[in-house]
Amino acid sequence: MRLVAATHNPGKAREIEALLDGHYEVVTAGSLNLPEPDETEATFTGNALLKARHAADLSGEVALADDSGMSVAALDGAPGIFSARWAGPDKDFGFAMRKVEERLEEIGSDDRRAWFTSALAVAWPNGPAVVVEGRVDGLLTFPPRGDRGFGYDPIFIPDGQTQTFGELDPALKDSISHRALAFAKLKAALID
Ligand code: ITT
């Protein structure tokens, strides 16, 4: 069966395909030239539903969307749903990661706790939708380390590991990440 991955982020699309493990033929919203909707909701789940519904209604096919981000405890959960927007129009995550470090320096905090959230939504064309959320906790480290992931991966060490998501084997990230946990919940929600 074909599934539209309602994302224009290649890093995410790669992980979604790996997590679906060949069970679906994945086509991305980008490859179908579907426009990106404005993410106008105030929560991860709200934006995931918005993106999945938008892609399903426009394509006429079942669509899966991920809305995700990194939240920093000492910054009251920022950047959170604004994680992509902190990187600016050039999608410069080196800049976004420096911004996180600078904000922590500004407030003089040595609290390095952070977490990633992934909300996954599946929508049927002009029909129902399901949404779930996964979270992984960890600690921030500066300067960034590793180039195997995407986004904020080089500054995030998940609990129980010594390497950042940017350094870890992608298969290991895919077994413990916020996205992996959300996928497990999605499977349970669709099957049970
Ligand atoms: P789409 O909306 O097209 O899917 P996007 O990148 O704009 O792409 P989001 O609005 O959900 O997606 O932004 C999430 C941002 O959070 C993303 O750009 C990454 O920088 C960051 N992020 C999410 N999951 C991540 C992960 O597993 N590792 C590193 N950074 C992640």
Per-domain residue ranges for the chain? 2-191
CA distance 61 to 92: 32
Q: 2-191, which class in CATH?
A: alpha beta
Percent of the chain past pLDDT 90, that is, above it, reads 96
Question: Does the active-site annotation cover 57?
Answer: no
Probe ligand 1: pick from 9, 98, 136, 173, max atoms within 8 Å of CB? Answer: 9
Classify each residue of 136-158 as buried b or exposed e, where b means 16 or more C-beta atoms within 10 Å of its C-beta: bebbbbeebbeeebbbbbbbbbb
Helix (H, G, I), strand (E, B) or coil at 24: coil
* Tokens found for residue 75: 């910054």
Q: Whose C-alpha lies nearest to ligand 1, atom 2? A: 7
Please report where in the chains the tokens 């195997």 appear, as a residue: 148
- Beta-strand relationship, 129-140 and 113-123: antiparallel
At residue 179, the pLDDT reads 98
What interface predicted TM-score (ipTM) does this complex get? 0.98
Query: 159-174 pLDDT, tens per residue?
Result: 999 999 999 999 999 9
Which sign, positive or negative, has the C-alpha torsion 169, 184, 50, 2? positive
pTM: 0.97
Q: Is the pLDDT of residue 192 over 90?
A: no
Query: 121-174 pLDDT, tens per residue?
Result: 999 999 999 999 999 999 999 999 999 999 999 999 999 999 999 999 999 999
